[in-house]
Amino acid sequence: MPTMAQEKKFYLTKEGLERLKREFEELKKKKAQKMEKETPMIAAPHGVDSEYLTFQEDISFLESRIEELEEILRNYQLIKPPPKHKQNVVQIGATVQVEVEGQVDEFTIVGPLEANPFLGRISHESPVGKALLNHKVGDEVKVQSTVTTIYKIKKITYRNI
Amino acid sequence: MMKSLLDFFINIGKLKEKPRRGWLLYGIQNPETTADHLFRSAILGWILNKSKGLDEEQLLKTLLLHDLFEVYVSDMTPYDPLIPQDLSKKSNLEKIKEILKRKPPFSLREKKKIEAKRYQEELKGLEKLIAKLPQELKQEIKDLWVSYRTKKTEVGKFAWQVGKLESFLQALEYWKNEDKIQLPLWRKWVREVIRDKTLVKFRNITEMLLCGPKPKRKRHQSSMDGLFWFFKEIGKLKFIQRRGWVFRGVKNAETVSQHTFHMTIMAWLLGQRKGLNTKRVIKIALAHDLCEVYAGDQTPYDPILLTNDSAVSDLFTKPPRISQTKRLEWLLKKRNTEWQAIVKLTSHLPKNLQEEIINLWVDFEEGLSKEGRFVAQVDKIANLVQAIEYFKRDKKFPIMPWWIEIKERVDDPLLLKFVDELDRYFSKEFKSFKK
């Protein structure tokens, strides 16, 4: 068993937490149903039933997903907007309008479980997410590599998340 | 560690551009490559193994790697000692045509000698390819390959036959489309090499459906008919070029199946390193683009391409930054098209198999499991690796958006280490370009 210090924190929005809780309950039900009703028989001692194999596959996936969700629900941290006087700084949960390479874009900084970069939700563990944290409007944030990109922060907001 | 993995990935990427020699000898234009063959072999093995129940992970890995040695050793054919070296001469091509009309005329003793020499050459090629990988991984790959090549384990024996069956299916498809294949010789050959009951059943159905006479009465369709239809359809991915590269003017751009092969091996090795469920990682990677048989390859630039009149080449110099509403609209449309495509593609498969493939695809798209999220990020990295290769060839290739996006999209710590290594590799290219 990992100690408390070793366990990772999972940052979740309220909506994300609700979704995972629902999924957890549904998967537990699904697993019970599968075990109860669907356990197929193996037809012959030397034959292998493909339905049985896929069923086993499902069960092991269900179990590993349930385990993963258990860990998340044990170690989550709800993303909350910071107090008003700290809302001028980028924290997890902030929606940041940036200018990059002459184009304007908008990112919401979330935990890895809810990241969807194409839809503008980027993980606080990604290089860009990490670099934006703790910066203010007007700051120019450099993301270094052979190709260095500068993100100029134009606006920071905290919506109801 | 990361450097040895990167070198390995770059090397195996060359298989996307290695046309299989046998088809070239038959005069087939732009034939499939080794990477294409490995892709469909892995899927054939995965599905046909369902009724056998061999170790799925071992089988998938074996099929993905069985021809990797071709990075260094040319694809060999049973006719090799007879084939003239220079294929550019017209007289040699005529000679080859004549040679291919007959069975290779070697005695059993000669065949054994050729085979022993070939085995050593292939092994040497594989050893060279994996030489710098970490010891444990090197041993795993070598053991799997040797068990395949010597057919000494059940998995190895089955994988060996699946590889041959894939070549046979491709041969019949070429015969049907181009009529350049010596069908009777192939049919005789496949009877000699395929003995497994399930594979024999599939071989028979394939022959009947591709080159048999039209049945006079409506035939009862078996589940093998559905499998045949599925494998035939996914074979189309060998010839669908990825649109992102085509838009950027890349000649002979990689195909969907070549990308899938490359990305699957990357996901396997990196996912195993991370301690994920490797079997699931491999299956998600193999399934992630299957829907493109019908849905086509859609790119994040599509919403701009639909609305922007400016020159296409200008668009690709920057990442596609569009409003959230437009992004969501496009994503929902894409998902819907792909959902319909994956359902249609798997509609002839047994229900449990259809469900399995659809679930794997959904996991990739939605990031339901840690494996799904990981593979989705490897997919982006595989694209960057390919983009760098295209940049190496043509310094006008717009590489910047790939780098910008990767820093926004990847957050897995292990993959970020890999991206750092990729950055060091790219920086050498970039510096020499700037000079």
Domain ranges for chain B: 1-235, 240-435
What single-letter amino acid sits at B309?
D
Say if A2 falls within a structural domain: no
Confidence of residue A4 (pLDDT cuts 50, 70, 90): very low
Q: Is A53 in contact with B53 (Cβ distance < 8 A)?
A: yes
Model confidence over A50-73: pLDDT tens digits? 565 566 667 888 888 899 999 999
What pTM, to 2 d.p., does this model score? Answer: 0.91
Q: Are residues A63 and A127 in the same domain?
A: no
The H-or-E segment that residue B166 falls in is helix B154-178
The confidence score (pLDDT) of residue B193 equals: 93
Half-sphere exposure for B429 (CA within 13 Å, toward CB): 19
Q: Is B369 in contact with A64 (Cβ distance < 8 A)?
A: yes
Q: Which of A22, A46, A78 is the last residue of a domain?
A: A78
Say if A28 falls within a structural domain: yes
The CA-based angle B278-B272-B413, given to 5 degrees, is 120
What separation in angstroms does the CA of B317 have from each of A63, A102, B312? 45, 12, 10
What separation in angstroms does the CA of B164 have from each of A142, B37, B40, B171? 53, 10, 11, 10
Q: Which of A35, A51, A78 is the last residue of a domain?
A: A78
Q: Does A118 touch chain B (CB under 8 A)?
A: yes
Contacts of B55 (CB under 8 A, 6+ apart): B155
Which of residues 248 through 307 in chain B touch A, CB cutoff 8 A?
277, 280, 300
Estimate the crossing angle of helix B223-234 against helix B324-345, to 10 degrees: 140
Encoded tokens for B180: 């350049």
Q: Are residues A64 and A90 in the same domain?
A: no
**Distance in angstroms (rounded) separating the CA atoms of residues B52 and A52:** 12
Q: Are residues A64 and A46 in the same domain?
A: yes
Interface with B, mutate which of A54, A62, A141 (most B CBs under 10 A): A54
Estimate the crossing angle of helix B413-434 against helix B400-409, to 10 degrees: 160
Say if A1 falls within a structural domain: no
Q: What is the CATH number of the domain that holds A53?
A: 1.10.287.180
What single-letter amino acid sits at B95?
K
Encoded tokens for B79: 């006719």
Say if A4 falls within a structural domain: no
Contacts of B355 (CB under 8 A, 6+ apart): A54
Q: Does A64 touch chain B (CB under 8 A)?
A: yes
Say if A52 falls within a structural domain: yes
What CATH number was assigned to the domain covering residues B240-435?
Answer: 1.10.3210.10
Q: What is the CATH number of the domain that holds A119?
A: 3.10.50.30
Q: Report the number of distinct structural domains present in chain A.
A: 2
Residue A2 in this model has a pLDDT that exceeds 70: no
Burial of residue A27 (CB within 10 Å: 0-12, 13-18, 19+) is middle
Q: Does B157 touch chain A (CB under 8 A)?
A: no
Of residues A36 and B334, which shows the higher confidence score? B334
Q: Please report the number of interchain residue pairs, chain A to chain B, with beta-carbon separation below 8 angstroms.
A: 98
Q: Does A146 touch chain B (CB under 8 A)?
A: yes
Encoded tokens for B119: 């085995």
Nearest chain B residue (CA) to A127: B407
Residue A1 in this model has a pLDDT that exceeds 50: no
Which of residues 306 through 335 in chain B touch A, CB cutoff 8 A?
318-319, 321, 324, 327-328, 331
Encoded tokens for B201: 């059943």
B69 to chain A, minimum CA–CA distance in Å?
32
Domain assignment of residue A65, given as a range: 10-78
Say if A27 falls within a structural domain: yes
Q: Are residues A93 and A52 in the same domain?
A: no
* Chain A residues whose beta carbon lies within 8 Å of the beta carbon of residue B373: 112-113
Q: Are residues A69 and A94 in the same domain?
A: no
Q: Which of A23, A48, A78 is the last residue of a domain?
A: A78
Per-residue pLDDT of chain B (435 residues; tens, 9 = 90+): 899 999 999 999 999 999 998 898 888 889 999 999 999 999 999 999 998 999 999 999 999 999 999 999 987 777 877 888 777 777 887 888 888 888 877 788 888 888 899 999 999 999 999 999 999 999 999 999 999 999 999 999 999 999 999 999 999 999 988 878 888 888 998 999 999 999 999 999 999 888 877 766 776 677 788 999 999 999 999 999 998 888 888 888 999 999 999 999 999 999 999 999 999 999 999 999 999 999 877 776 666 665 554 555 566 677 667 777 887 888 888 888 999 999 999 999 998 899 899 999 999 998 888 999 999 999 999 999 999 999 998 888 888 888 988 999 999 999 999 999 999 999 887 777 665
How many other CB atoms are found less than 10 A from the CB of residue B267?
28
Say if A3 falls within a structural domain: no
Phi, psi of A143 (to 5 degrees): -110, 110
The confidence score (pLDDT) of residue A44 equals: 45
Q: Are residues A71 and A136 in the same domain?
A: no
CA A73 to chain centre: 12
**Distance in angstroms (rounded) separating the CA atoms of residues B356 and B371:** 15
What CATH number was assigned to the domain covering residues B1-235?
Answer: 1.10.3210.10
Q: Are residues A134 and A88 in the same domain?
A: yes
User: Quick check: do B1-235 and B240-435 share a fold?
Assistant: yes
Half-sphere exposure for B239 (CA within 13 Å, toward CB): 11
What separation in angstroms does the CA of A130 have from each of A14, A17, A90, B411? 21, 22, 10, 9
How many other CB atoms are found less than 10 A from the CB of residue B398?
17
CA dihedral B101, B107, B108, B113 (to 10 degrees): -100
